[in-house]
Structure 1
Amino acid sequence: MDILAHAAENIKMKEEYAKLILENENLKRSQVKQVDKGTSIDLSTQRFSCSFQYYTGFLYDRFYNVYNFFVPGVDLPFEFSKNISSLVSFSLEDQLLLVLIKLRQDFDFKHLSNMFGISSQDCSCLFTNWINYMFYRLGSLDIWPHRDIIIENMPEQFKTDYPNTIIIIDGTELKIQRPSSLHRQSQCYSDYKSCTTLKGLVGVDPRVSIVFASMLFSGSISDKEITHRSGFLDTLKSLLQSGKLQEGDGVMADKGFTIEKEINNVRLCLNIPPFVPSSASQMSGPAVAETIKIAKHRVHVERAICRVKQFKLLTNKVSLSLFSCVNQIWLVCCVLTNFMPFLIEK
C-alpha cells in the first residue's frame, strides 16, 4: 500500500511540475512586446522571443527598430520576383526574422522551412528577395557622419592621442567554397588563409561604427590594391569636397597599407606603425611607443569586423549558390552592426 501511495504522490508531483513549466512559459509569452500598432506577434515570432539575441543578434526591442526601418508602412515596399503562395499567411515580422536567422546562424533552408512551416524553395526565394531589398535600403544610407560629429563623440583617450584621425581601416577575408574553374581558384586563393577567399575593406570611426564597407574582391588582392579598387580614395576626395572632411585629417591603418603617398595626394595624413629603418637592427624607443599607441586604437576595427563575422553566414564557407548575392549579404551584415550598441562608450 505504501508503494502505491508513493507512486501516486510521484505522479501528482510530476503533474504539478508540468503545470509550473506551462505557467512559466505562458508568463514569458505574455511579456513579449507587441508591435507599435498594437497587433499581436505571430506564433513563430513568439517561438523565438526568449532567444532573440541568439537567433538574430538583436534584443527584442532592437529587432523592431530594424523592422520599422525596413518596413516603415503597412505593406512591404518591394515586390517578390515570383509569386510565393505560402507568404499569404506569413507576417512581415516573421519574414524579416527568417532572414536574420539565416544571416546570424546560417541554418540551411531545409532547417528554416521546418522552423517556419514553408517549403525550402520558398525560404530561399524569400531570403534572396529580402537581401536585395535590404541591400538597396541600407546602401542608400549616408553612414559617414560629418567630421565635427565624429570628433565630438570620440573616446577621450583617442581624442588625446589622435584628435584629427577620422577613420580606421582594415581588410578582412571570407572563406568561400572552392570554384570549379582553376583560373577562379588562382584568383581567389589567399596565401594568408591558405584557401580560397573573398576580401573586403572596412572602415570604422573612433567609436567603432562602420562608416565604409567596400564590395568584395578576390582573396589574392593586396591591401594597397584594394584601397585603390574599392573606391575608398575617391570617397575621401568627395568627402573633402563636400566639407565632411578637412585637409590634414587622418586615416589609421596597419603596416600592410603602404598608401601614404596616395593619402597625402588626397591632402590627408596616414597613421601607421613605424617601420624599422634599414640601417638599424631594431626599433627605437619612441617608435616602439608609437607602435603600441596605434595598436591600442587600431584593434577596435578588428573588433568591428569580429562583430560582423558573428553573422555565421560570413564565418562559414560561403556557398557558391549564394555568389549571386554575396556582396549584398556582406554589406547588409556590415551596416546591420550599426543598429547594435556602441562597442566603445564615449
Structure 2
Amino acid sequence: MEIKFDKANVLKEKPDQNNLGFGKYFTDHMFMMDYTEGVGWHDARIVPYGPIPMDPGSMVLHYAQETFEGLKAYRHQDGKVTLFRPYMNAARMNRSNDRLCMANIPEDMFVEAIDALLNVEQEWIPSVEETSLYIRPFMYATEVNVGVHAAKTYSFVIILSPVGAYYSEGVNPVKIWVEDEYVRAVKGGTGFAKCGGNYAASIIAQEKAESKGYTQVLWLDGVERKYVEEVGTMNVMFVIDGKVVTSPLQGSVLPGVTRDSIITLLKSWNVTVEERLLSIDELYKAARNGSLKEAFGTGTAAVISPIGQLCYKEEEIIINNFETGALTQKIYDTLTGIQWGNQEDVFNWNHEVK
C-alpha cells in the first residue's frame, strides 16, 4: 500500500508518562484513507492530527454508520514494539462493518496502516511500567445524502493516545451496579458489533450507576432481563465452584479479544471454562452460599478489572472480601507479561512492528 506522509510543522510536547490517564492525549499524526464504491480504498495518508472537515449532510451524522476498534502498542524493555493480536481486531472490525452494511478493510491493510503510523510516532510509545499506546481505528460514512440507505463512500482513520490505567482504581476491585431497567442489546441487533450507537445507548445506565456510587454497569439480557451479559464496555467472568463462567457469544455480546485470550490461557492451565447462560439469581445464590469466589471484567482498555461488589435490586454482595482474587491476578500478570514482553509468548500473539 502506498502511503503519503505529510509531516506536522510543529510537534507537541510529550505528556508525563506517570500521569497519562486514559484517552487524554493524542499524538502528532493520524492515518486516513477513503473508500469509494466501484473504486475501493484509495488515498492512504499520514497527516497532522487535527479536525476532520465534514459536510453537514454526511450520512454518519444522520444514520450512524460508524464502527471502531481498540488495541494497544507495547514497548518492551529491549525497545521492541509489539501489537497484541491485531488481526483479531481487523477481523472483528469487518464483522462490525458487515452488520452495518459498510465496506470491508483487508486485514493486511488494516495492520499495515497501524504499523506505518506507529513507525512515524515511535517516540509517543511510553516506556513506564503499566503504560501503552492506545490505538483507535474507526470508520464512518461520508456520503452526502439525507436518505436511509448504505453509504457509497467511507473514511477510515487511526488515532493514537499514550495511556495509563483505564480505571483510577487500577487493578483493584470496583463496585458494579446491576442494571434492570435499561438494556444494552438483543439478539439480532448490533450487540456483537463495535459501533458507536451501542455505547451511546449505554450512557444513561452508566450515569445512573455513577450517581449511586458505582464504577460500572452489569448488563442483563434485553429480553428476559435475567441473564448476565457484559460489564459496561467489557466482557465479564465469574469463578464459581472452581469453574470460570462467562456469557456465550450469541449475537448480543461483543466477542472480545481479551476474552478469547483469557479463555485460551485458562484452558492451557486446565481450568474449566463454561460459556453459558448465567442468571442473576444463580449468581446471587452462588454469592450467598460462598461458591462465588471471584469476578472480573475483561477488555483491551483495562485488561482485567476485578469486581468487588455487586448491587441488584438494592441487595449488595461483596466478592472475595473486596480483594483481587488469586486467579484474577494470575490472569492479569500472565496476559500483561506477554503483552509487555516479560513472559514467553507461547501462543505467538504478539505482532512486532517493524
TM-score (norm 1): 0.24
Larger radius of gyration: 1
TM-score (norm 2): 0.23
User: If each structure's helix is expressed as a fraction of its own residues, which one has the higher value?
Assistant: 1
User: If each structure's strand is expressed as a fraction of its own residues, which one has the higher value?
Assistant: 2
